Amino acid sequence: MSDVQTPARRFSITPGDFAREYGVLTIIVILMIGLSLISDSFLTARNLLNIVNQSAPLAIIACALTLVIIGGGFDLSTGAIFGVSSVAAGWIAVHVDPYTAIIAGPLIGFALGTLNGAIITGFGVHSFLVTLATSLVYRGIAILITGGALIPVRIAEFSWIGRGRIGMVNIAVIVLIIFMVIFMVLLNRTTFGRRVFAVGGNEEAAILSGIRTNLIKIVTFSLSGMAAGLAGVIAVSRISMASPQAGIGMEFEAIAAVILGGTSIMGGSGAIWRSVAGVLLMALIGNGFNILNVNPFFKDLTTGVIIVVAVALAASGRRSR
């Protein structure tokens, strides 16, 4: 159910198990070696830090989305929550207070995610359908906030979280690292994390064990919304512009990254660090194709093929158990 193996299994890892556990890291290493041989400009501190910095908002969303998927859910509203939170934060930064805006973004995302979870558990509707519907509603709210226009946010007290640096490292990267560590501890070292695995692995058994499964689901969607809100704040502060169209398609990128990381779309298994590795793999593919000046179509094709292989490996693993 979780990624923790018993001592008996630890020394009998099959090639298929290894591919599922560490395949994404293997592909990343191969890509980095290949790209560094092809281009001198790839394996530089500046380029690598830039890749991580540009990936930070998506990686933050992927961390929280991993909890949702492990718990047996699906969240198609993260892109729309990203959009609502970003324009709301931009509006608050301009008209109220920039520091309040930084806090308001994640809180708004948390509230919208909680609403998702409440509807899913309260009406017993599949999370795929609910979040698909709420994504349309949230996107409409983003347009209402801005009137369909862009909101310039050129305020130093707000832009530091997206543009600021400590040495060579962007503050957004530091935020990502802290966020990832917190979620890894939450998933792997707490009772809540064990219950997320239990709900995704076998919800009926979890109910019989006394786990409040509906509450666990609501919390996972709340955290997913909060992550999307935080990512939206970082993105707006980076580009100094809030757009109601921000985040379109981001939910699919986040889901793809989580699947690339080996988290089962059926729930019950997965890891935060592998989802972040999935985001970095997608970023490396994009960066490599940009360096090589290759048609973007082949980037999407390559990413799609890798995702299909990842899903096939996960499915073969379930059949072999």
**Can you read off the two tokens belonging to residue 279?**
């985001």
Strand partners, 152: 241
d(CA 198, CA 70): 9
In SS3 terms, 134-192 reads as HHHHHHHHHHHHHCCCCEECCCHHHHHHHHCEECCEEHHHHHHHHHHHHHHHHHHCCHH
Which pLDDT score, from 0 to 100, does residue 9 have? 44
Total-model pTM = 0.91
Residue 8: the pLDDT is 45
Using alpha carbons, list the distances in angstroms from residue 272 to 2, 89, 237, 303: 12, 27, 25, 20
CA distances from 4 to 21, 62, 88, 197, 270 (A): 11, 21, 40, 11, 10
Contact 183, 224 (CB under 8 A): no
Q: Say what the pLDDT of residue 209 is.
A: 93
Per-residue pLDDT reduced to its tens digit, 258-291:
988 888 888 888 999 999 999 999 999 888 888 8
Tokens 């990128």 correspond to what residue?
Answer: 253
Q: Is 84 helix (H, G, I), strand (E, B) or coil?
A: helix
Of the CA atoms within 13 Å of residue 24, those in its CB half-sphere come to 31
SS3 266: coil
Residues of the chain with pLDDT under 70: 1-20, 310, 313-321
Give the chain's end-to-end CA distance (angstroms, integer): 11
- The CB-side HSE value for 305 (13 A sphere, CA atoms) comes to 8
pLDDT of residue 317: 57
pLDDT for residue 132: 96
